[in-house]
Structure 1
Amino acid sequence: MKKFILLLAILGGILVVACGGSDSDSTKSAADSGTTESSSTSGGGFAELGRDLRAQRMRSASVILQDGRVLVTGGNQPAFQAGAVKTAEVWTAGSDQWEFTDDMIVERFSHSMVVLKDGRVLSAGGRDLKNTGTNKADLWDPKTGGWIAAADMIEAHENFPMVLLNDGRVIVAGGSARDYNPTNVAEIYDPNTDSWTQVGGMSVERIWHTGTLLSDGRVLFAGGGEPDDPHIKNAEIYDPAKDTWFSAGEMNVGRTQHTATLLKDGRVLVVGGRGKRQTSEIYDPSNNSWGEMADLNEPRAEHIAILLSDGRVLVIAGTGSRPSVEAWDPDNNSWQVVGKIQVGRYRHLAELLDDNRILVFGGNGESGILASTEIINIEVGSEVEQAVLTGTADPQLPTPAPVVDTPVPAATAVIVGRDVYEDPLEDPIDAEPDGSASLVPNGQPVRLPIGGVLASPSLQTGLVAVFLEVISDTRCPSGETCDEPGEAIILLELRQQDAPFGTTEMTLGADQALPSVKKLGKYSTVFVDLEYDSDNNPILTLAMVQWRKK
């Protein structure tokens, strides 16, 4: 009997520990019922579990506020139809917990944020509920917790850097535009006039690149590219004092989803990237050159890099739900594994707190999208002062950057998804009659009824689309004469692996000779045709392909 009681006690203890760090619900009503208490059940004190976010989040954005609090906004949540959310939370030291603040005006993920000189927070870009790149921007007031709309950006941007300039303005550059293809457009926001101004364009189109404010006030943009290649080696610098772009040469390898950190000596450390990059290198502004540094202990991408006050750089977790944390020492150019976080993750966020602790939160882990929060405690040496390193750069870019006139805002909505697919497709086949997902190879069109599901090339590795509805169909009926050819607009629900994309519209014009195509990460959807059966039920012909805009 004593053995049985002891066994129950052990099992009960295991259950308590397993539930202590569970993800919170993704809605406010569920999350407000309580918070998860802090736990330090493992990790030897290096990383302690804190109270969960109120909502699970990945591809969100965060900033540390002037009063030491942390603001996180938007992102993906687990619910399939919640591809983008507009909720926001604030973490406060002392209570060490998250509380909801007011919602943003626009739902968004893969966006960027920055704290302005007056303490307000600018949130802009990303993808919206329709899974379309957005040019909307919001401003948050830390005194009231409220949001107001800021002026729209000139172009939509998602997966892009946003950098606060020394004069208080903000620069954004590159990312994916409304058509899901990378852009080279750069623009500056002036909070004094609430306006955006285009500042030429980068020499190449970039997505998932880095933007780093150099110690002399210029901005370094480096790398970028789709996760599955090609990855960009090129780097360039924008000088706001001269309103001029300069070449910053090429990195030793192409990188995307990497990090770039301004060091205390004014150089920039670039780390990792997709393609199992285990390398690091340094950009030196004083001679406009790149040099290879020591290799990491593990390859990393979609990780976080934090500059410690003693001059070291900490890299945390990364693709593959890695839990390890490494530190780079500039004194001896070496990487050392310094510990592990308790929940491996990627697409997460981290902020250096005023007391040198590091708050790590959200992201994607082995269990899916996370609400888990932990605090890293690491011994930090004497603070190193920030040096100003005056840079030089070649004023001639490798490819002259095009300058696009600032467009006059139009009253009509921008139509997206009208790129055409020119390669041959297979003859269409009917959807599965039992309503299950049609699993087909890339390039195989399927005729889908409302609610029909297409997965290509598989449920695990491809893109999954659900035909939701016909939004409108103004095409001229067969046998009739119309003044305009018209168009059909459909609504799809999309996801790839564990990432919900939400919904997206696609348009096919009656006068189009080729199908419409829309790029969504590695894969693209092809809107081939829309017909109606004898009962006037819509039948969509849809395909998935691997496609890059030419």
Structure 2
Amino acid sequence: MKKFILLLAILGGILVVACGGSDSVESESASNSESTASSSVSGGGFAELGRDLRAQRMRSASVILQDGRVLVTGGNQPAFQAGAVKTAEVWTAGSDQWEFTDDMIVERFSHSMVVLQDGRVLSAGGRDLKNTGTNKADIWDPKTGNWTAAADMIEAHESFPMVLLNDGRVIVAGGSARDYNPTNLAEIYDPNTDTWTQIGGMSVERIWHTGTVLSDGRVLFAGGGDPDGPYIKNTEIYDPAKDTWFSAGEMNVGRTQHTATLLKDGRVLVVGGRGKRQTSEIYDPSTNTWGEMADLNEPRAEHIAIVLSDGRVLVIAGTGSRPSVEVWDPSNNSWDSIGKLQVGRYRHLAELLKDNRILVFGGNGEDGILASTEIINIEVGSEVEQVVSTGTADPQLPTPAAIVDTPVPTATAVIVGRDVYEEPLEDPIEAEPDGSASLVPNGQPVRLPIGGIIASPSLQTGLVAVFIEVISDTRCPTGETCDEPGEAIILLELRQQDAPFGTTEMTLGADQALPSVKKLGKYSTVFVDLEYDSDNNPILTLAMVQWRKK
């Protein structure tokens, strides 16, 4: 077995989790008058108006697809009984346009959606046309644009989190059942068998709570409660490997309709929510403790929190139809107000796009349920630091005209910084023949064609890379004499769940003894080799390595 020993510096990972919407008796605008339509992109600066949704929506659900498009489904609309609809729309960056796709099987709002590992989308739960909780589930195929019915959940769930586990299954927990009362029931969906299995319940009944996948694959469920109180402090963790629940202690304040976001270092930032809406705090899974953080500039609930590619956390709008946006900086624990939306809103949605812009859409505003869409432009820090390996061995290099059975170069170590981790690489395997993502463990290289995708160790908590192109390859062909050894430069697109990091270049020098390494949080992308098939098509060998601090 060909192996490398990699010693890499440690950073942290990024994930994003947002909570669901709700009813409220607070003094907020909630009329059913129709919003004013906007037919084209306008404005400038911090937030620009984009093209409207095809339908007004609040308490809807959205996901960003593997190809970068955005899918939104269901929600409340003012012209329908109980407000529940089954329509769905897709936004495409190239056209800045929302277009209807196939309708869901069931009308629903206050439901949840998740992208499965094969790229399909599971939509489940919510309230139906009768304004009662539903146990119905649908699956949307992005290749066909069609919905098909999935197996029914065992129990109805509404205003609940739905989370993709590392093994591809999906967990739902809590929410309100058909009787409108909060529940502690939890169940797991297996897309391979289209079955739901009930598991042990949470220690308390929850609604409008959050579910956050931790770095180790466990899931943190926090807070919850009726919007009018009482608000829950209790938190707990589900371990899918042991099928067991553990206490995660209590937050400093009870909260509901808050957000919970996984930070680079593996901790979880909890923000706002009804209760002490201007507060924030952090959960540290390494110590199983909670600690208070700086207060926000404004109180918020029913807002959206998104992790930027530089690790900061952006918080958008919230109850009272707030237009303001602020950002939390983990380096100094500070909140800074950085701009305003053109339309204040709450019960809205937002997705981080591949180019680091943020798409904000729908919700409830001063004029009622909204169709308006805005795009936030914000500067972010450097994407990914490139680390070029060094060594003394002289590997054989591929000839760009044909397949070359090049042995993986052998060397001792790459040392970057003082925190190190040792990880062997297995023999490379071929990419999935149908073009879908190759889901592999850390340390498993995959031979990717142009457009090939590697995800490791999962689409949910791991790193995803797409091979975009070979920018240049000046390496000296085998058997020829060249003045310079040359180098190969490739372009990758990187993302982690709903946090796209944009494109980045990687370089492999002909005189390198080890693969090139690029760090991204707790994961590193490893450029192992670049060769060409008989038709001169490039084949990239790429791997992912996860950090564990020694």
The answer to whether the 8 A contact 1:89-1:100 is kept is yes
Correspondence for 1:272: 272
TM-score (norm 1): 0.63
Q: Relative to structure 2, which stretch is displaced further, 458-467 or 474-483? A: 474-483
Change (3 A) 1:342 1:200: same
Name the SS for the 2:77 alignment partner: coil
> 2-side partners of 1:454 and 1:385: how far apart?
20
Q: Which residue of 2 aligns with 1:251?
A: 251
Cα pair distance change 1:143/1:55, threshold 3 Å:
same
- Give distance in 2, aligned partners of 1:114 and 1:11: 27
Deviation track 1:104-126 (CA, whole Å, cap 9, x = no partner) reads 00000000000000000000000
Residues 42, 184 of structure 1: alpha-carbon distance in 2 compared, 3 angstrom cutoff: same
Moved more, 99-108 or 72-81: 72-81
Q: Deviations over 1:242-274 (max 9, x none)?
A: 111000000000000000001111100000011
Contact 1:266 1:389 in 2 (8 A): no
For structure 1, which segment, 500-509 or 117-126, has the greater mean C-alpha deviation from structure 2 after superposition? 500-509
1:82 to 1:210, Cα distance in 2 relative to 1, 3 A: same
Distance 1:277 1:192, change over 3 A: same
Cα distance in 1 between the residues matched to 2:491 and 2:531: 15
Q: Does the CA contact (< 8 Å) of 1:363 and 1:369 recur in 2?
A: yes
Tell me, in whole angstroms, the C-alpha distance in 2 between the residues paired with 1:354 and 1:278.
Answer: 30
Q: Which residue of 2 aligns with 1:450?
A: 450
The CA deviation at 1:402 is 62
Cα offset for 1:531?
83
The answer to whether the 8 Å contact 2:390/2:512 transfers is: no
Task: For residues 71-129 of structure 1, give each alpha carbon's deviation from its aligned partner in whole angstroms, at most 9, with x where no partner exists.
Answer: 00000001152521000000001101100000000000000000000000000000000
Q: 406-415 vs 203-212, which deviates more?
A: 406-415
DSSP 3-state at the match of 1:31: coil
Percent sequence identity over matched residues?
Answer: 92
Give, in angstroms, the shift of residue 510 of structure 1: 86
Q: Is the 8 A contact 2:283 2:290 kept in 1?
A: yes
Q: CA RMSD in A?
A: 27.0
**Per the alignment, do residues 51 and 509 of structure 1 end up closer, same or farther by CA in structure 2, a change over 3 Å counting?**
closer
Structure 1 residues 334-355: Cα deviation after superposition (integer angstroms, max 9, x where no partner): 0000110100000000000010
CA distance in 2: counterparts of 1:316 and 1:539, whole angstroms: 42
* Contact 1:357-1:378 within 8 A present in 2 as well: yes
Deviation of the 1:53 alpha carbon: 0.0
* Structure 2 gap segments, 5+ residues each: none
2-side partners of 1:228 and 1:148: how far apart?
37
SS in 2 for 1:82: helix
Q: For the residues of structure 1 that align with 2:413 and 2:79, how far apart are their CA atoms?
A: 28
Q: Alpha carbons of 1:514 and 1:154: their partners in 2 closer, same or farther (altered >3 Å)? A: farther
- Please state whether the residue corresponding to 2:29 is helix, strand or coil: helix
Q: Which moved more, 1:23-32 or 1:413-422?
A: 413-422
Deviation at 1:449, TM superposition (A): 70
Tell me whether 1:504 sits opposite 2:498 in the alignment. Answer: no
- Does structure 2 retain, via aligned residues, the 8 Å contact 1:429–1:447? yes
The residue number in structure 1 matching 2:18 is 18
Moved more, 51-60 or 4-13: 4-13
Tell me if structure 1 keeps the 8 A contact 2:391–2:411: no
Question: Cα gap change, 1:487/1:298 in structure 2, threshold over 3 Å: closer, same or farther?
Answer: same
The answer on whether the counterparts of 1:285 and 1:391 sit within 8 Å (CA) in structure 2 is no
Cα shift at 1:162: 0.4
Paired residues of 1:210 and 1:222 also in contact (CA < 8 A): yes
| 1:63 match: secondary structure | strand
Q: In structure 2, do the counterparts of structure 1 residues 79 and 35 end up closer, same or farther at CA, with 3 Å as the change threshold?
A: closer
Distance 2:272 2:343 in 1: 21
| Structure 1 runs (4+) greater than 6 angstroms displaced | 1-43, 384-550
The answer to whether the 8 Å contact 1:417/1:518 transfers is: no
Size of the aligned set, in residue pairs, is 550
Change (3 A) 1:15 1:207: closer
- Alpha carbons of 1:292 and 1:194: their partners in 2 closer, same or farther (altered >3 Å)? same
After superposition, the C-alpha distances for 1:268-298 in whole angstroms (9 at most, x for unaligned) are 0000011351000000000100000000000
Aligned equivalents of 1:21 and 1:53: distance in 2?
19
SS, match of residue 98 in structure 2: strand
The question of whether the paired residues in 1 share the 8 Å contact of 2:58 and 2:77 is answered with yes
Q: How far 1:431 sits from its partner (Å)?
A: 70
User: What SS does the corresponding residue of 2:76 show, helix, strand or coil?
Assistant: coil
How far has the Cα of 1:372 moved from its partner? 0.3
| CA shift for structure 1 position 383 | 3.2
Distance 1:468 1:429, change over 3 A: same
- In the aligned structure 1, how far is the partner of 2:538 from the partner of 2:251? 51
Q: Whole-Å Cα distance in 2 between the matches of residues 502 and 128 of structure 1?
A: 38
Residue number in structure 1 paired with 2:93: 93
8 Å contact kept, 1:443–1:543: yes
CA distance in 2, matches of 1:400, 1:76: 56
Deviation at 1:385, TM superposition (A): 9.1
The change in CA–CA distance for 1:10 and 1:116 in structure 2 (over 3 A counts) is closer
- Assess if the C-alpha contact under 8 Å between 2:16 and 2:499 holds in 1: no
**Distance of 1:383 and 1:474 partners within structure 2:** 25
- Secondary structure of the 1:402 match is coil
**Inter-CA distance 485–403: structure 2 relative to 1 (3 Å threshold):** closer
Q: Is the 8 A contact 1:200 1:403 kept in 2?
A: no
Give the aligned partner of residue 156 of structure 2: 156
Contact 1:348 1:360 in 2 (8 A): yes
Q: 1:417 to 1:463 in 2, by over 3 A?
A: farther
Helix, strand or coil: the match of 1:281? strand
* Contact 2:18–2:260 (Cα < 8 Å) also in 1: no
Query: Which residue is equivalent to 2:378?
Result: 378
* Contact kept in structure 1, 2:18 and 2:305, CA below 8 Å: no
How far the C-alpha of 1:386 sits from its partner, in A, is 15
Deviation at 1:313, TM superposition (A): 0.2
1:104/1:138 contact within 8 Å kept = yes
In 1: Cα distance, 2:149 partner to 2:225 partner: 30
The answer (yes or no) to whether the contact 1:203–1:397 under 8 Å persists in 2 is: no
1:175 CA drift (Å):
0.1
1:482: Cα distance to partner?
A: 102
Deviations, residues 125-146 of structure 1 (Å, cap 9, x unaligned): 0000011100000000000000
- Offset of residue 358 of structure 1: 0.3
Residues 265, 80 of structure 1: alpha-carbon distance in 2 compared, 3 angstrom cutoff: same
* Greater shift in the superposed pair: 521-530 or 309-318: 521-530
How far apart, CA to CA, are the structure 2 residues paired with 1:119 and 1:451? 15
1:51 corresponds in structure 2 to 51
Residues 112 and 124, structure 2, Cα contact 8 Å, conserved in 1: yes
Deviation at 1:199, TM superposition (A): 1.2
Summarize deviations over 1:144-202 as a string: whole Å, max 9, x none. 00000000001100000000011100000000000000000010000000000111000
Q: What's the CA shift for 1:502?
A: 42
Distance 1:423 1:409, change over 3 A: closer
CA deviations on 1:187-222 (whole Å, 9 max, x unpaired) are: 000000000011100000000000000111000000
Q: 1:473 to 1:324 in 2, by over 3 A?
A: closer
Q: Deviations over 1:422-473 (max 9, x none)?
A: 9999999999999999999999999999999999999999999999999999
Distance 1:527 1:100, change over 3 A: same
Q: Quick check: 503-512 or 177-186, which moved more?
A: 503-512
Partner of 2:337, secondary structure, is strand
CA contact (8 A) 1:25 1:31 kept: no
Structure 1 residues 346 and 511, CA, compared in 2 at 3 Å: closer, same or farther?
Answer: farther
| Distance in 2 (alpha carbons) for counterparts of 1:127 and 1:418 | 53
Distance 1:508 1:359 in 2: 35
| Deviation at residue 511 of structure 1 after TM alignment | 88
* CA–CA distance in structure 2, aligned partners of residues 305 and 50 of structure 1: 20
Partners of 1:23 and 1:371 within 8 A in 2: no
- In 1, the alpha carbon distance for the partners of 2:392 and 2:483 equals 60
Q: Greater relative contact order: 1 or 2 (C-alpha under 8 angstroms, separation 6 or more)?
A: 2
Q: 1:114 to 1:179 in 2, by over 3 A?
A: same
Q: Which string of whole-angstrom CA distances, capped at 9 and with x for unpartnered residues, describes residues 304-358 of structure 1?
A: 0000010000000000000000000000000000110100000000000010000
Deviates more, 1:414-423 or 1:16-25: 414-423
Q: Alignment partner of 2:14: what SS?
A: helix
Distance in 2 between residues matched to 1:204 and 1:40, nearest whole Å? 47
Q: 1:504 to 1:172 in 2, by over 3 A?
A: farther
